[in-house]
Structure 1
Amino acid sequence: MLDIVIIGGGPIGLACGLAAQKAGLSFVIIEKGTLVNSLYNYPSTMTFFSTSEKLEIGGFPFSTTHVKPNRADALEYYRRVALANSLPLNLFEEVLSVNKANDENQAYNINTSKSSYKATHIVIATGFYDIAVNLDIPGENLPKVKHYYQDPHFYTLQKVLVVGASNSSVDVALETYRKGAEVTMVVRDSEISNRVKYWVRPDILNRIEEGSIKAYFNSNLKAIREREVDIQTPTGMVTIPNDFVMAMTGYKPNFDFLRNIGVNLSNDGKYIPQYNPQTMETNLPGVYLAGVVCGGMDTHLWFIENSRIHAKMIIDHICAPLT
C-alpha cells in the first residue's frame, strides 16, 4: 500500500511528488496523458506571463536565456526535474474510479485504465485544461471548430473567426493574422480584456483600430455553418464567410470526476470544491486538492506560481501525525 497516489502529472503534481519524496513517503504520480500534458498541448509559440523563477518547483533552478520562458523551455525544465529525481510516473494511464477501502487503515482503492492501487492519501492535481467550455450553439461540433490551438501556419489564407478576448484569443488572432489569415474577433464584452499580457494588448488594440483585424464587441456567435457564421451584434445579426472558428472560450476542471469521488462542490455556478485552505484537505479525509483545480470555474485564481505552495502544505499535513 502506498502513502499517496497523486492524480495529475503537471507542474503541481510533480511538485507534490518532490515534496513527498523529500519526506520519505511512498507514492506514484498517475497522468492520463504525457508528462505535463497541459503544457504540451499549449500553442507552440506560447510565452509565459511569469518569469522562470516563479515556475520553479522543488527548489530546482529554472534557467533560460529568455526573460519570460516559452513552452519549449517549460517542457525541458519539468522533464529534466522529473527524470533527474526519478519520480515514479505512470503516464498515459487514466484514473477511472476512487473508492473507500473497507479496512482498518481507512485507505482508498484507485482503479485506472491499466492497473489498481491502494493508498492512505490521494492528491488531486488535475488542472483544468482538458475540458473546453462549450458555446452551446448550432454547428459547434463541426470539424472546423477548434477549442485548442497549436500553430498559426495552418490558417494561412483562411477566414478565421476568434471567439473571446483573453490572452489565448488575442494570441490566436495576432499570430494567425501575421501568417496571412483574414481574422475576425467576436467579443461579448465592450473591450479586450485587461488581463491580456501587457506587452501584447497594445498590439491587438492597434490592429483592431487600423482595421487589420475586425472585431465585433458586445457581440455573440450564434450559429456556425460549413462556409459561414452568424454573429449577433448590437446593430443586428451579421453573417460572414468563414473557414475556421477558434473558440477560445476557456476550460474547466473535470467536475464529474470530483463529484464521483465524493468531493463537495459549491452550488453557485462556480463549482468550487470544498477544502481546508490551511491543509488543502477536502471533505473526504485523506483526499487533497492542489493547483488550479481548487478554483472551480474561477480558473484565473490559481496558477503555477501561486499554487506551488500547496505541495508543502499537503505533505506537511500528511506527515504531521507521523511526528
Structure 2
Amino acid sequence: MELYDVLIVGGGPIGLASALEAKKNNLKYIIIEKGTVANSLYNYPLYMTFFSTADRLEIDEIPFITTKPKPGRQDALEYYQGIARQKELNIRPYEKVLNIEKSTFFQVETSKQIYFAKNVIIATGFYDIPNMMDIPGEDLPKVKHYYTEPYPYAFQNVVVIGSSNSSVDAALEIYRKGGNVTMIVRKNEISPSVKYWVKPDIENRIKEGSIKAFFGAELLEVKEHSVIFKTETGDIKEIENDFVLAMTGYLPDFNFLQNIGVDLQNECLNPNYNPETMESNIEGIYLAGVVCGGKDTHLWFIENSRIHAKQIIKNIIDKS
C-alpha cells in the first residue's frame, strides 16, 4: 500500500500552493484534479482580465511575469501550469474524487483507483455547480450558465442575468459583436464590485440605450423564442429571445462535503473549520481556498487564501 502524507483534492492555484508547501517540507503528496491543471481558470471567459495585479496572484513567491498591468486568463494558465511543469508536481489530472472514508488512514476513491493518505486537503473551488434560477424553461438548450466568448451570440437577441463582473463582461462583449443585449438585474444598480475600469463603460452603454437594462427585475420563464420577466413596478413583460446567459454565480460541491462528513453551518452552508489551522471538524481533513466560504463565494479568492497552504502544512508537521 502506497501511503501519502497529504492528498490534495483540486489542482487550482491553492491546491498547487499546498503541493509546493508540502514538497518543501519533504512530505509525500499527490494532487487529484478532475480536469486540467487550474481547471476553473481554463473555463473562465477567453478574454477575461483579472481584477488583481500579477503579484497578488503569485504562489510560493514564484514571480508572475506579464507585460500587462493586469493579467488575463491565458497569462494565469501559463503561470500556474508552468509551475506544475517546472516544479514537477505530482498531479493526476482528469481524475475525479468520488468519496473519502476514514479508518486508520483516509481511503480516497477516485474515478480511476483508490489512494491512502494521512491527511487530505480539499481545495476544490466553487466553479463547478451553477446557482440555478429554478424557473420554467431553465433546462432549454438556449440557457447557458457559462460564458466563454461573444461570437456565438452575434446578431442574436441575448438576455444576460445579473450585474456582476461576468455579466457585465458578457453584455459588453456581445454588444460589440453585434448582439442585441438586454440585462435583467435583481438589484437596483450595476454591482459596485464590477471592475472599476469596466463599470463606467457598461453604465454609459445602458444610459445611451445601446444595451437595455431592467433593474429591480426578475426573470420568470424562458420560452423557446422569448422570455418573460417582472419589472421593478410589477409589470409582466415578454420579449423575443434567442439565448439566455444566466450569470447567477456558482457554488461549491456541498453534497461532496456532506458525504465525507464536513459539517455545514447556517443558511450559507459555511463549512466548519479552524481558521488558524484550516482543519475541518474531521481530524486530518483540511479546507483551503474558496470552498471555505460556503455560499459566500466572495469571501475567499486567490489573493487572500494563498496563506492557507502554509497554515495547513505547518499544522500537519506540528502534529506529526
Which TM-score applies when normalising by structure 2?
Answer: 0.98
- For residues 143 and 23 of structure 1, what CA distance do their matches in structure 2 show? 49
C-alpha RMSD of matched pairs (Å):
0.6
1:253 is matched with 252
Select the residue among 21, 24, 27 that pairs with 1:25: 27
Select the residue among 214, 218, 227 that pairs with 2:212: 214
- For residues 89 and 308 of structure 2, what CA distance do their matches in structure 1 show? 18
Q: What is the identity, as a one-letter code, of the residue corresponding to 1:174?
A: L
Q: Which runs of 4+ in 1 moved over 4 A?
A: none
Give how far 1:154 is off: 1.2
Counterpart check, 1:79 vs 2:81: yes
Select the residue among 137, 151, 164 that pairs with 2:149: 151
Q: SS of the residue aligned with 1:98?
A: strand
- Within 5 Å, which residues of 2 pair with 1:123-162? 123-162=121-160
Q: What is the identity, as a one-letter code, of the residue corresponding to 1:85?
A: K
Q: How many residues align?
A: 317
Give how far 1:292 is off: 0.3
- For residues 7 and 29 of structure 2, what CA distance do their matches in structure 1 show? 6
Select the residue among 168, 180, 183 that pairs with 1:182: 180
1:63 is matched with 65
Select the residue among 165, 168, 180 that pairs with 1:167: 165
2:299 is matched with 301
- Within 5 Å, which residues of 2 pair with 1:274-293? 274-293=272-291
Select the residue among 30, 34, 53 that pairs with 1:51: 53
Q: SS of the residue aligned with 1:119?
A: strand
Give how far 1:58 is off: 1.2
2:241 is matched with 242
Q: SS of the residue aligned with 2:283?
A: coil
Give how far 1:288 is off: 0.1
- For residues 199 and 234 of structure 1, what CA distance do their matches in structure 2 show? 28
- For residues 187 and 156 of structure 1, what CA distance do their matches in structure 2 show? 22
- For residues 63 and 189 of structure 1, what CA distance do their matches in structure 2 show? 38
Give how far 1:234 is off: 2.4
Q: SS of the residue aligned with 1:96?
A: strand
Give how far 1:217 is off: 0.5
Give how far 1:59 is off: 1.3
Which runs of 5 or more residues in structure 2 are unaligned? Answer: none
- For residues 244 and 48 of structure 1, what CA distance do their matches in structure 2 show? 26
Select the residue among 77, 94, 97 that pairs with 1:92: 94
Which runs of 5 or more residues in structure 1 are unaligned? Answer: none
- For residues 152 and 22 of structure 1, what CA distance do their matches in structure 2 show? 43
Q: SS of the residue aligned with 2:75?
A: helix
Give how far 1:153 is off: 1.1
Q: What is the identity, as a one-letter code, of the residue corresponding to 1:5?
A: L
1:114 is matched with 112
Q: SS of the residue aligned with 1:109?
A: strand
- For residues 90 and 140 of structure 1, what CA distance do their matches in structure 2 show? 34
Counterpart check, 1:40 vs 2:38: no
Give how far 1:321 is off: 2.7
Q: SS of the residue aligned with 2:270?
A: coil
Identity %: 59
Q: SS of the residue aligned with 1:191?
A: coil
Counterpart check, 1:4 vs 2:3: no
